[in-house]
Chain A
Amino acid sequence: MRTFWAPIGRLGVYIVVGGVAAIMILPFYWMVITSFMPAPDILSFPPKWFPTHVTFEHFVVAFAKAPWLSYYWNSLVVAVGSVSCSLLFGLFAGYAFAVYRFPLQNLFFLLILGTLMVPVQVTSVALYIQLSKIGWVDTFLGILAPNFASAFGVFMLRQGIKQIPVDVIEAARIDGAGEMRIVLTIIAPLIKTTVATVAMILFLGSWNDFLWPVIIINSAGLRTLPVGIALFKDPYGNINYGPLMAATLISTAPMLIAYVVSQKYMIRGIAMTGLKG
């Protein structure tokens, strides 16, 4: 019985897994194919699964209509800014919570973790009003404000630092290293896997973040990629799918390439921490 059913079971697994994979990949395929198709192909029936010839006209239109390089730059500035601040502050706070004992420690720790319960979706109104009073609306600082530090980062880095034997820290102290130097030159390299995972998840979250940037940004010059693509859709309602898909491809390509290169590592990181950006 077993030998009879096993190949059929195996075939079944391939049919299900392959079928679902086709559905998962279809939107990516359709995006790419639409952005390289000549306009008549896009609207043809029956559908064209391959372009009759490859054209770059939609990319020319997309680049003429919006400053994609500036959107890239803005997304990069915001992501690098928030990731590096979150990591730096998170390392020190994580070290303090993992190694020291001090009054009100638990209260502060719970306060930091408690912010996870109040996402920016809830606080956006008050945060906007607050930032408008200090002139941070429509600035990089405004986009970064809720993302200078990350509760998730503090938590993960604390967990990582807890794994380090106290002897390592003691030895460094005896050698005369100051606490700050210990954190930056001894602790950080020892937990570099955790640091890299946290950095990757925070970067992904920042890169794809939409709600807060769309609230705080007014001027076109500050738009990040998701804001740029969302506002590319319909200034006057006339829909041209070729340039739209070209624009979508432009905005998703860097992350997709990074994913193709490092997918194994990225999936493992997210599975390990159980969190998405």
Chain B
Amino acid sequence: MQPGREGEQSPRPASYPRRTISRLHSRHIFHAYLFIAPVVLLFGLFRVLPSVQTLLFSFYKVELLKDRLTFIGLDNFISLFSDEIFQKATVNTLTYVITIVPISAFLGLVLAVLFNAQFALKEFFKAVYFSPMVTSTVAAAMVWWWMYNPQFGIFNVLLRLVGLPGQPWLMSSHMALPSIIIFSVWKNLGYNMIIYLAGLQAIPQQFYEAATIDGAGPVMRFRHVTIPLLAPTTTFILIYDTILALQVFDQVFVLTGGGPANSTNVVVLDLYRQAFERYNFGYAAAEAMVLFLFILAVTILQYYYSRRYEVAY
């Protein structure tokens, strides 16, 4: 490489490697900051700042119209813990989460296993199962609100057709929350199925062949090959669905508005009412902090679980 080096003294080729790279490097830092600036700025203003302010406001009485902030320490949180409606909303939210997450994960897995085989019209059925996912929750809930109608709704009409008594569905404080859960299972089932299906298809076929050679039947193969190898998918689905279920709002707003007698009130709905109907912004901020703590707890759980599987894989 020595020959010709002298001759290539002139501008670009010889000097390219070192000089240009160092020049590019210094330009990179400028460009790097320039390129992340819009996102950092927008997130700082509309995501990070409001997060910090939510924490701050939870210790204040906020009067927006008078433009006044009064520090009241932990008063918001103390009132929260004796607020029966908020307690009810928290219990309802957790009940909703604890019921819907395992049910829709389990059903999603069952359907994914069925769909992992080949059969006619498979893509059509897949599309049908997934269709509630792309529909707006508000619009879909509106249709279910009509179907849940105790007098003329299709559910009770069908029940009466086969000689069973009609149910009060959303009108009863015992049945309203389960009715919302049924709706949400319908709405989210396709999503879990698709994610599980992707997980199933990622399992190498050799594992099944090896298990078969070792004499494992279909049930054994499912229990000892499929389930363990799907663990990361299951963790993802459980965590992700839990975080979303904690934020449930749209369907409750449309189907029951939190009633009857707060039997379907949930944290986000109560927060919405406190802030935007009663203008108790500080109090609502405290409720938002409680919601955040739940999400944080689940995220920390996810962190430990995903680390465990990173090692396993």
Contact = CB atoms under 8 A, between A and B. Distances in A.
A90 B39 CA distance: 7
B194 interface: yes
A236 interface: no
23 contacts: A17-B115, A34-B146, A92-B39, A95-B35, A100-B32, A111-B40, A112-B43, A119-B295, A126-B51, A127-B46, A130-B49, A148-B42, A179-B27, A211-B250, A230-B138, A233-B142, A233-B145, A233-B254, A256-B135, A259-B127, A259-B134, A260-B127, A276-B133
Contacts of B142: 229-230, 233, 244-245, 248
A129 B36 contact: no
Q: Which 7 A-B pairs have the closest CB atoms?
A: A126-B53, A96-B35, A208-B136, A123-B50, A126-B50, A102-B32, A92-B35
A123 B129 CA distance: 33
A186 interface: no
Contacts of B157: 45-47
A270 B145 CA distance: 28
B284 interface: yes
B35 A255 contact: no
Contacts of B56: 126
Interface of A: 10, 13-14, 16-18, 20-21, 23-28, 30-31, 34, 42-43, 45-47, 89-90, 92-93, 95-97, 100-103, 105, 108, 111-112, 115, 117-119, 121-130, 132, 145-146, 148-149, 151, 154, 173-174, 179, 183, 204, 207-208, 210-211, 214-215, 225-226, 229-230, 233, 241, 244-245, 248, 251-252, 255-256, 259-260, 263-264, 266-267, 270-272, 274, 276
B188 to A, nearest CB: 9
B292 interface: yes
A131 to B, nearest CB: 8
A222 to B, nearest CB: 16
Nearest to A200: B134
B109 interface: no
A20 B114 CA distance: 12
Contacts, number: 267
Nearest to B124: A21
A276 B53 contact: no
Contacts of A272: 198
B308 interface: no
Given A27-B147, A211-B249, A47 B154 contact: yes
A125 B292 CA distance: 13
Contact of B129 (A21, A93, A154, A173): A21
A255 B38 contact: no
B268 A112 contact: no
Given A100-B28, A118-B292, A13 B117 contact: yes
Given A13-B119, A126-B52, A259-B134, 20 more contacts: A14-B119, A24-B186, A28-B131, A31-B143, A89-B38, A92-B39, A100-B32, A102-B28, A102-B32, A123-B51, A124-B271, A124-B275, A126-B49, A126-B57, A129-B62, A132-B64, A149-B43, A255-B135, A266-B130, A267-B130
A208 to B, nearest CB: 4
Interface residues of B, number: 93
Contacts of B139: 225-226, 229, 248, 251-252
Contacts of A16: 114
A177 to B, nearest CB: 12
Contact of A93 (B35, B119, B133, B140): B35
Given A26-B154, A100-B31, A173 B146 contact: no
